[in-house]
Amino acid sequence: MVHPAIITLGVQFSEFIISGGIARCSAMLYAFKKVIADYVTPPGTSIQRNLTSYLGKQIDYLTTTRHLAETMKSAIRQLKSEISNISLDKSDEDTKTHLLHWIDTFIKEKIVSADDSIVATALKFIKTDDVILTFGRSAAVELLLLEAKNLNYKFKVIVCDARPKLEGKILVQNLVNAGISCSYVLVNSLGAVMPKVTKLILGASALLSNGALLSRTGTAIAAMMAHDAHVPVIVLAELIKFSELVQLDSFVWNEIVLPSVLTPPSNDANSKPPILKDWRDIPDLKLLNLHYDITPASFISMVISEHGCIPSSSVLSIIGMVKAEEEKNLKKLII
């Protein structure tokens, strides 16, 4: 049985009401808190053995609504590991209390504190009169820019955006409301503004083990043009976005969004109909709407995580170091 909180969350995911790796991960963990709080252990089993299976059904449902973000996969792995390590001697209520506290701690340490650490490190690279380019809307980049404004840094921001989502509009609105000087351009105007840019700061959906960046479609174009113009490309990414997967291009794997959003209906009765209005009637025409693209490691100057500044080629080393720390802490708990 799927919990009502998970059904509601699945609808929000599928309709992109909640989007972005960190936002989706946080929402999922808060929903899991409701699932765990309402969970009742079936007769003849224990919560430590049955809860993982029960959560698996909730996760399977979420997977049918939208592909799991790397942040969500990381949180799920660590939550399942925590459940498996709980002593069978613990009562159901004590186990629930422990897991609810663990989720709160995970959110605080892996998301909130991680973002604070990333912002504190990234602030050192913002100089007076910088012109900062960013693409779309990243929660970490937005936090950085707002904090820089609070500390009275003098800089300008250029937000580059692309259809169909145009998420950058929300970022521009938030930055302007905070008193930051902003410009807004579409991706086809990048060449015109690039000579003014002093650094490109990007968010991430995932950082792959080969150093490549998985992010919203259009990010790779911005990074490529910045690299060609000798503009530093800085990526902000929490450790829970680091992935062991390897991907060389956007076609090996991607999330396909409904093509209908590429042909929005016209609200003006007097305007010309969209060019692709009747695309379904053309037998040999298919619209492909990919959600992510891949930015090669060679275009990335630096990655800033809660562990500090690293080259993108060191992603796999960081993953190995984090795993070694987790195994060491687990051995201490067992002893």
Segment 253-276 mean pLDDT: 74
Q: What would the mean pLDDT of 39-67 be, rounded to a whole number?
A: 91
CA angle 158, 163, 165 (to 5 degrees): 90
pLDDT at 80 exceeding the cut of 70: yes
In the predicted model, what is the mean pLDDT of the chain? 90
pTM: 0.89
pLDDT classification of 287: cutoffs 50, 70, 90: confident
pLDDT band at 184; cut points 50, 70, 90? very high
* Confidence band of 109 (pLDDT split at 50, 70, 90): very high
Core vs surface per residue 192-203: b (16+ CB within 10 A) or e: eebeebebbbbb
pLDDT score, position 325? 78
**Residue showing tokens 């930015």:** 295
> In which element (H, E) is residue 160 found?
strand 155-161
Q: What is the mean pLDDT of residues 219-237?
A: 95
Alpha-helical segments (H) within 107-155: 113-122, 139-150
The per-residue pLDDT for range 145-179, each reduced to its tens digit, is 999 999 999 999 999 999 888 999 999 999 999 99
Give the pLDDT confidence score for residue 104 in this predicted structure: 96
Distances (CA, A) of 14 to 19, 64, 221, 255: 9, 9, 26, 12
- Does 292 have pLDDT greater than 80? yes
Measured CA to CA, the distance from residue 303 to residue 8 in angstroms comes to: 35
Residue 302's contacts (CB-CB under 8 Å, 6 or more residues apart) are 232, 233, 234, 235, 309, 310, 311, 312
Tell me what pLDDT residue 18 has: 92
Express as a percent the part of the chain with pLDDT over 70: 95
pLDDT band, residue 301 (cuts 50/70/90): very high
> Residue 270: pLDDT band by 50, 70, 90 thresholds?
low
Distances (CA, A) of 98 to 86, 95, 104, 111: 9, 5, 10, 19
